[in-house]
Chains A and B, each alone.
Chain A
């Protein structure tokens, strides 16, 4: 960490480049930038925070940092779960929140251009006003930014039918480590021009440069939506229902697996609360035309009941349905309040391997004698085994580490991936090679070295 005097000198230089409104170097201000939505990765305060209001300012700051070899950590809302935006090496936090203009929504072309700091919910509202639809929603849309979504390839419950952020990104403007600016991709749905740098930056977690602008494709807004809750006797049965209904041709827009304990928490928001009589629940939203929604609801009802589900409840009242989804989006923060420390995993397996994965997590939990909750976006196989710490002892930490390792190994064994949507950041870097293999990891490191030879961009993330 820099001394007070070098920090002051750094501040002066940055003010010259980005303006006094954009630069913060007082320790009182820097405290806020240590962490993301996890507190256990808060290890260091940065030496300066810069909030550029345009690409030029961001470019000037990066060129300066490159020249002086100062680490730069890009930041969106600070709502991530992998430690990706934490400034572990000090240096400059480059915060995109003031790059917050929606530059254009093109109805005819069904695309939009936004600056990186636009809040996802604001963007959803803006496109929906025009009858359009941008499906990705990582369940933090009231705060998370489009730039952060692109950097982490954010997912969320709609992936089952609509895919994740990566499926919508058509182009990015990015500032490279040395300050040069590239316009990758375009507003065209079809592109076949050289390397696909757009999607190289998507999911790059700020290690290759700073994404300042994004072009995304849009869909027509579905005219009808309906929420359904399936009450199941066992987690195994719930997993069978998931595979069953999708195989039968009903693909819900969202399909969430909610264990009983989680539903009890959600009941503090669901109005009227649900009588929690089943062991496992599937919360889903069907969308499309009125006829299609009715048809899928029928498939869902008959298939779920055939497989032995206790009840299929179609929530007709829209306001009531909204409380289910609000409760779902608050579930993770509510779980966080239940234990001394909580680690949420996002191992993803092919949908048809969910029952095996559920059984394996239960086995790991029993064998190590620790609490592991398990919910998740069952529709796309993205599960969230959640380790609840009853204390903060070294033994507990060790058991949690062992559990994560076992969970990750099991996920890979089932043909899955170590992160479905949170990204690697600091959290999963030690498992990266398990999934990628030595050769692929080396290839990635070469790409990194080519684009950021001095290694100033988000050091310590992806790998150390």
Chain B
């Protein structure tokens, strides 16, 4: 990974202690926590998780037992508590920092380590690794809920640099395709580029990008997350652009909030990271703010919108796809009960907590079913994969940008 140092200066548990004592015990985080709502055990609510982290990892009143590890691990890192907290306690950072302190769990198995490293450093599997991945998948050895493995990742299918666009040019945006889009759901990436082009946005594809680092951050592997962040910040800062557009809400959350906090204010790249954070937007949020210039064609279809958990960092993100989709002639958007309730995926959380994730998903599937919509729109590829598997053959799950692209191609 070249010169990148992996030095993170923010988010040490000790530094978060000051924020942790701001917890007033109000209990409002109970209502926000998908894990608590399933377990109905206060130990598994954010207030108690922080308390346990405090007594075992900061005050050392209690040794960090296996049960402590379990309590710390049984969190989707959905960030809903953080965005509900009246005291603005960054609970998700506290949990990630506790995982960092307890030591990353995976990485014992050298094959898993290598696979993970390759995956994050080439934003998904490609070449030989993809071929191996596909064959493992074809033998039914991978969960159905994981995104597909594309024949050709976007980073190879499109030449780096400026992409063609409609005139006049209204803006210039660096496009960051997340791992799951780059090498899995490539339809999303192609549709992002198509919609940006049709709306006069010059998209720039930047070479040398790596994973945004969210999976490493979530595991508490801060050194590796910081290495990835440094590499991305350096590469993206070399480009002049009005915006950094992500298709995935979690990548956007990472760039907009987590990377500056993780690197800390004294990191040599701090200023660049902050500048990138300020111009980061998820693609529908970006388009809703910019305004559409392309015409919309008729789509006589019904959709329901599942709000990804990591949309909550932006006040406008959850409304943006609704605003754009309801402008499409003929399209009906039917709201489900609790559209912003978690689907249970939590990135890769469902791989290690299958029963819990599936129980959370049950409610979501029932809410989706009750709308009678023929398809679900959601920006998060993890939600998409996790919801697609049980809905296969019945209800499609797509990124809202794909719906916009189809409408624009019909105009």
The reply on A27 being an interface residue by CB < 8 A is yes
The 8 Å CB contact of A330, one of B47, B65, B86, is: B86
Assembly CA distance A29 to B51 (angstroms): 11
The reply on B169 being an interface residue by CB < 8 A is no
Given known pairs A77-B27, A337-B24, A337-B86, the reply for A32 and B68 (CB within 8 Å) is: no
For A12, the chain B residues whose CB sits under 8 A away are: none
The 8 Å CB contact of B25, one of A26, A39, A117, is: A39
Interface residues of B in 15-67 (CB under 8 A from A): 22, 24-28, 30-31, 40-43, 45, 47-48, 51-52, 55-56, 62, 65, 67
For A98, the chain B residues whose CB sits under 8 A away are: 40
The 8 Å CB contact of B67, one of A26, A79, A95, A119, is: A26
Contact (Cβ within 8 A) A332 B71: no
Chain A: CB-nearest residue to B47: A32
The reply on B334 being an interface residue by CB < 8 A is no
The reply on A24 being an interface residue by CB < 8 A is yes
The 8 Å CB contact of A78, one of B27, B56, B62, B71, is: B27
Contact (Cβ within 8 A) A97 B40: yes
Assembly CA distance A245 to B65 (angstroms): 60
Assembly CA distance A334 to B88 (angstroms): 9
Most B-side CB within 10 Å, residue of A27, A28, A78: A28
Assembly CA distance A105 to B158 (angstroms): 59
Contact (Cβ within 8 A) B40 A28: no
Contact (Cβ within 8 A) A333 B40: no
Contact (Cβ within 8 A) A31 B48: yes
The reply on A197 being an interface residue by CB < 8 A is no
Chain B: CB-nearest residue to A341: B24
Assembly CA distance A36 to B55 (angstroms): 18
The reply on A33 being an interface residue by CB < 8 A is yes
Given known pairs A26-B67, A35-B25, A79-B26, the reply for A51 and B43 (CB within 8 Å) is: no
Contact (Cβ within 8 A) B68 A28: yes
Contact (Cβ within 8 A) B27 A31: no
The reply on A37 being an interface residue by CB < 8 A is yes
For A142, the chain B residues whose CB sits under 8 A away are: 28, 30-31
For B25, the chain A residues whose CB sits under 8 A away are: 35-39
For A28, the chain B residues whose CB sits under 8 A away are: 43, 52, 56, 62, 65, 67-68, 71
For A51, the chain B residues whose CB sits under 8 A away are: 40-41
The reply on A143 being an interface residue by CB < 8 A is yes
For B30, the chain A residues whose CB sits under 8 A away are: 77, 79, 142-143
Assembly CA distance A200 to B321 (angstroms): 52
Q: A302-338, CB under 8 A of B: which get 1 and which 0?
A: 0000000000000000000000000000101110110
The reply on B87 being an interface residue by CB < 8 A is yes
Contact (Cβ within 8 A) A29 B67: yes
Chain A: CB-nearest residue to B86: A333
For A365, the chain B residues whose CB sits under 8 A away are: none
The reply on A100 being an interface residue by CB < 8 A is yes
Given known pairs A333-B24, A336-B24, the reply for A32 and B45 (CB within 8 Å) is: yes
Assembly CA distance A330 to B27 (angstroms): 11
For A121, the chain B residues whose CB sits under 8 A away are: 31
Closest 4 A/B residue pairs (Cβ): A336-B24, A32-B48, A333-B86, A142-B31
Subset of 5 A-B contacts with CB under 8 Å: A31-B52, A51-B40, A117-B40, A333-B24, A337-B88
Chain B positions near chain A (C-beta within 8 angstroms):
22, 24-28, 30-31, 40-43, 45, 47-48, 51-52, 55-56, 62, 65, 67-68, 71, 86-88
Chain A positions near chain B (C-beta within 8 angstroms):
24, 26-29, 31-33, 35-39, 51, 77-79, 95, 97-98, 100, 117, 119, 121, 140, 142-143, 330, 332-334, 336-337, 342
